[in-house]
């Protein structure tokens, strides 16, 4: 599946063409590069930026290739398993939830894939974070230890990938404060600082995650003991 999601962009930039599986599945509908276009495309990037929140599980479904009319999803020939959807098909994206768990191993696999298959480019993780559902009855509740734990998990995965040779050079939390989210409006907040949208003043308040992250950036420990037998020093 990486050959469709990541390879769609990275393969031409690094190897000069779309991945072989895309050529095979898409056929003549997939455009070809002219010699001049290849000169412009190959190596034409300074770094790779990704937004990463969750793991999406897939399994083969080659029957989709028998469809006469198909889109990108059909060309990938997979079935999706989306554990972040509840029984009503409502999206719970990066939430504290019994069925939505932190999956930092997925970030490590993505960075390893880029390292091994795409010549280890400079990588910036542009967005990573966890959301909470807006609860008007909760008021200005700063209790979001789950978000601090989530960030610890993913920052640790980023550090481990770097130590294993990945050229990841940047990591950014989404977001500094609650904002209007493209998919969710004001129903979900990803902010280290919360915003009370029921208040005319749109009052901001500091969450637990903001205090933890500020301390970490000032040199504090990632965890009391981040890895077995190894602690990050102050």
Q: Which helix (H) or strand (E) holds 171?
A: strand 168-171
Residues facing residue 188 across a β-bridge:
133
Per the annotation, the verdict on 36 as an active-site residue is: no
Q: Report d(CA 133, CA 228) in Å as an integer.
A: 33
Say how far apart CA 217 and CA 142 lie, in whole Å: 19
Bridge partners (DSSP) of residue 81 are 57
Tokens for 152, please give them.
């610890």
Cβ partners under 8 Å of residue 21, min gap 6: 3, 4, 7
Of 36, 37, 112, 127, the active-site residue reads 127
Active site residues: 127
């Amino acid at each position: 599946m990486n050959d469709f999601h990541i390879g769609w962009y990275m393969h031409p930039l690094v190897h000069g063409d779309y991945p072989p599986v895309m050529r095979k599945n898409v056929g003549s509908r997939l455009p070809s590069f002219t010699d001049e276009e290849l000169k412009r495309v190959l190596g034409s990037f300074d770094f790779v930026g990704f937004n990463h929140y969750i793991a999406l599980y897939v399994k083969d479904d080659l029957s989709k290739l028998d469809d006469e009319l198909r889109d990108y999803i059909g060309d990938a020939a997979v079935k999706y398993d989306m554990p972040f959807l509840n029984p009503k098909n409502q999206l719970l994206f990066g939430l504290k939830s019994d069925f939505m768990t932190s999956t930092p191993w997925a970030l490590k696999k993505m960075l390893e894939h880029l390292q091994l298959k795409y010549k280890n480019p400079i990588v910036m993780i542009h967005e990573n974070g966890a959301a909470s559902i807006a609860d008007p009855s909760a008021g200005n509740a700063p209790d979001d230890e789950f978000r601090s734990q989530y960030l610890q998990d993913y920052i640790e995965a980023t550090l481990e990938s770097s130590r294993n040779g990945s050229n990841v050079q940047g990591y950014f939390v989404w977001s500094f404060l609650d904002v209007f989210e493209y998919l969710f409006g004001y129903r979900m907040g990803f902010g280290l600082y919360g915003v009370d949208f029921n208040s005319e003043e749109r009052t901001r308040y500091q969450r637990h995650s903001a205090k933890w992250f500020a301390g970490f950036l000032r040199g504090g420990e990632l965890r009391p003991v981040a890895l077995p037998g190894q602690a990050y020093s102050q």
